[in-house]
Structure 1
């Protein structure tokens, strides 16, 4: 038990010592307030700093700890100033816990000092601050022994089974044919490629052709009503004899002869071949004749409206030819080796002048009455390209052109050599166009085929700046790259109905009214099993011809 004097002295000593309040949140303990002597608080702060500061400063704090602990130990052993020893009494001596704590601090400081963290941090700093090289590292070439040797056949190595190299046969110059090389200019003799030598049957076809190709007056019969027309479509059927392959590649254009006694069909394919088929010949192979007239796609075929013995064909290779079956020759009507042709139409009623569209949006007026060579007038439109064009059936100074996404109607009387502006522009199409055609009788309607899966019908009865859209028919026009694109064409016997191929299954050919109503679908599960992209109707008979992408013709007859 302490005396009252000692207690009073102790209390007086405690009052003289400054007290430090620290929140335990700094020490990582629950948030309470504690009172420590000044020296003890400094030791705790140093201990915390040694645990929270970066590794670079550990060595410096460790030395401070060692010096502080040694001073504290010397004070405990009686070393130091005499004033300090006289002022301290038993109450200021460290407890066993504090002694153990100081011992742990000193041991930890010695351990961190032995790790040489300062030198390690200096080395890391040098590595981090080193500038990266901006040069590209080249890959080391693989060694020959590391590469995997692929096995190759002896045929590719050009050796025989015994290992002896085979001779390399150099191709003869005349055996190498470039499919894009234009045929020589001038007329070509009408000799079928699929017939050998002089064919007596083909001579008989030529004589027959001259008889059925006499000029006739235009058919002015009254159009039948819709019920009668629909009944006629229902009566049209296809048989095995009405399907035949007449071209080597996929069909890109077709035309049907206007004869009312015989059915003659012409088709142009992707490689420049033109095939003719006389359906009255049996067997079917005897009525098929093929001709190589061009070196690229035959994109347009038409029989002359005044002389059906003339068949005109246009190709992307920049040539336009006329097959005259009365003289058995294919004449060259128009040639331009610097431009690719896309489409053509007859400008005059007597077919003496033509309008030719170019892929680069050029338009040429060709006069066939000039002896020897054709006279040409060339104009530039403001379109990016021209896919199809057609002359108005009544007002023949108008023509319509389908481009990339716009349909333009031009007036021939205002064509200019540069920058011709259209009279009317139809801009409702969202994707690329395939075709645009006037209705055949009055030209009061225009049907367009677009890649946005829509068929559109416009009212062109009044040639004003704005042409109203009458109908939008939802139709799958996604033919892909291996099929010829659909072209909706008018039935020449009707003013209000058009024909287009179909992607639906079973395969069919659809007939729509201008209002968007589906009038009839031609299909046959046995004889029509492919997509007919190009279709044409006979101008006076109930005959429909469809061509697919393998060169095959399908004929529906009433």
Structure 2
């Protein structure tokens, strides 16, 4: 019908054009004849054409024009074109198809639709309504809020009804600490002897244990010569303690919650190993005292987030605390009642780790975004401190930087460009040269704790670092870049991002991102 309509309209348009052409031709002819009569006879239309009295007073041209218009109008009226067009429009309208209205099927009231997640419907498997989203958000915020200031009692989260068993656990840690306060000063072992001792270190099912709920973010080995005691800090704010020499494995580990955010640093006090100091992103630094069974508050800054700390003095009375925003705090624990704090502004936008030189205590090194700076504590300024040395060899984010443990003559850094670097810091001047660059995959991704290369306290020239290689392993490198040893075994099935070595014994403890500790131990060191 659309085609018929279009054809009809085309016919009408063609007819109109033909009529218009005829009219123009007639008009042109009339005008020509009028012109000839006026030239030849000199008479007007009024004299020669009867019935045109209504055109009196007009010029001959105008009278002729009006006459043609009237004749044309009469001619079109005789054709009845408007009536025909109206009839065609009516026919087209009547014959146009109407829109089909498809009836939608009625939805059955009891019809079973697609399966939907009960979690999204806020319904648990027992068809009990779950709390609204706003309530859940409130709970999450409460978990991240700061814990109350002051000391917190050591109450384990996995404590059973046997309270006497837990008291015995704490007593073991406290007494072992008192009995093991002896630091044997031995010279460096030869690489051959050192490697032979590493080969005797093994892992078993009894030396693997889950101690925290979340990913492990820091690990510390107790310096005891008689017992194997390991502490681990987690991203959830937990601290797990594990005594591997406990007769019953199920009774050898307890977890606590002294922080509300990631525990990024754990150190046993060098003067009193019964004290475990822990630093957290929540802006608190606490000291777990096993003798009194409390977590004392050493330092608190609710306006900032802490990233790392180290001891500035050998008696552990003064601490250096690094902030994520680039600030530094000198904390004196000898102040009665509360610690004395002095805040400094560094030249770094962010600080990940701080480490004090083991011999020259006035120097310390900081790792930031892409720069590593060495500062002198005597030149720190509250407005802005300038570093003595800046290292710019790193092209991506830096995870850590540490002095070698005995002399401080070397610095090892871990960078996200998949390189480990060793610098010569034997002479702290305007620059310290780069000695070694080691290719090592440090891309742990989003869900794994970042690698940090740590020196072996027993061996000045060797350091250990986690590995992404298969089978899962922990690598030890010499400062020259040579691989000294790789720890692996059937019980090591995951990536140990953070690993530390015992200061005097051949024991390695590594933590993964599921809260498990993996311990390699020399059977002769048990």
**2:407, 2:175 → 1: CA distance?**
31
**2:429, 2:237 → 1: CA distance?**
40
2:326 paired with 1:361: yes
2:449 paired with 1:449: no
Residues 1:197 and 1:452: Cα distance change in structure 2 (over 3 Å): same
Q: How far 1:450 moved relative to its partner? A: 0.2
- Pick from 199, 207, 210 the counterpart of residue 245 of structure 1: 210
Match of 1:503 in 2: 468
1:496-532 Cα offsets, whole Å, 9 max, x none, are 00000011101110000000000000011x2011110
Q: How far 1:176 moved relative to its partner? A: 3.0
Secondary structure of residue in 2 paired with 1:532:
coil
Match of 1:176 in 2: 139
- Pick from 308, 321, 335 the counterpart of residue 300 of structure 2: 335
Match of 1:408 in 2: 373
Secondary structure of residue in 2 paired with 1:473:
strand
Match of 1:323 in 2: 288
TM-score (norm. length: structure 1)? 0.70
**2:124, 2:297 → 1: CA distance?**
50
**1:538, 1:221 → 2: CA distance?**
14
Residues 1:173 and 1:245: Cα distance change in structure 2 (over 3 Å): closer
Q: How far 1:167 moved relative to its partner? A: 6.6
Pairwise mapping of residues 52-451 of structure 1 onto structure 2 (< 5 A)? 153=116, 155=118, 176=139, 178-196=142-160, 199-214=163-178, 216-451=181-416
Whether the 8 Å CA contact 2:308–2:353 is kept in 1: the answer is: yes
Q: How far 1:431 moved relative to its partner? A: 0.2
**2:294, 2:220 → 1: CA distance?**
19
Q: Structure 1: which 5+ residue stretches go unaligned? A: 1-144
1:90-129 Cα offsets, whole Å, 9 max, x none, are xxxxxxxxxxxxxxxxxxxxxxxxxxxxxxxxxxxxxxxx
Number of residue equivalences: 409
Pairwise mapping of residues 485-496 of structure 1 onto structure 2 (< 5 A)? 485-496=450-461
Residues 1:188 and 1:411: Cα distance change in structure 2 (over 3 Å): same
Q: Which has the higher contact order (CA 8 A, sep 6+)?
A: 2
Q: How far 1:217 moved relative to its partner? A: 4.0
Match of 1:557 in 2: 521
**1:456, 1:347 → 2: CA distance?**
25
Q: How far 1:206 moved relative to its partner? A: 1.9
Secondary structure of residue in 2 paired with 1:449:
strand
Whether the 8 Å CA contact 2:173–2:274 is kept in 1: the answer is: yes
Match of 1:468 in 2: 433
TM-score (norm. length: structure 2)? 0.74
2:491 paired with 1:527: yes
1:350-383 Cα offsets, whole Å, 9 max, x none, are 0011000000000000011111111001000010
